[in-house]
Amino acid sequence: MASLLTLTARRAPLRLGRAVTSVSSQIRNISSSPIDHDQKELQSLARTFADNEFAPKMQEWDEKQYFPVDVLRKGAELGFGGLYTREDVGGSGLGRLDTSVIFEALSTGCVSTTAYISIHK
């Protein structure tokens, strides 16, 4: 009798193959979709914030191992906190494409800080 571990291991490549196919088709759809007017505004806001708040300080933050709580608070005031969180509980309630546009723009200023924002709900 096969163990659960053996059965899981045998099925993993199949699941992985389906997941990769699903993800790659989603990526293809996102990257080939033009962004709308609202998304361009989000992109511009995020890019300006990244240029003014992240980019000038990111090297110093890395060298000093500083976590920029003050800058994250400024970003939260602009709506960059709780991006995936529903509006009825205080979040922005944005979809994946909207947040991808924001994260891409923010990452031009500081990738590691943007990564934190992307995992902080």
Class of domain 37-119 (CATH, top level): mainly alpha
Give the Å distances, CA to CA, from 66 to 8, 55, 98, 109, 115.
42, 14, 28, 15, 15
pLDDT in tens, the chain (121 residues): 444 444 445 555 555 555 544 444 555 555 566 899 999 999 999 999 999 999 999 999 999 999 999 999 999 999 998 998 999 998 888 999 999 999 999 999 999 999 999 997 6
Instruction: Look at the pTM and tell me if it is higher than 0.75.
Output: no
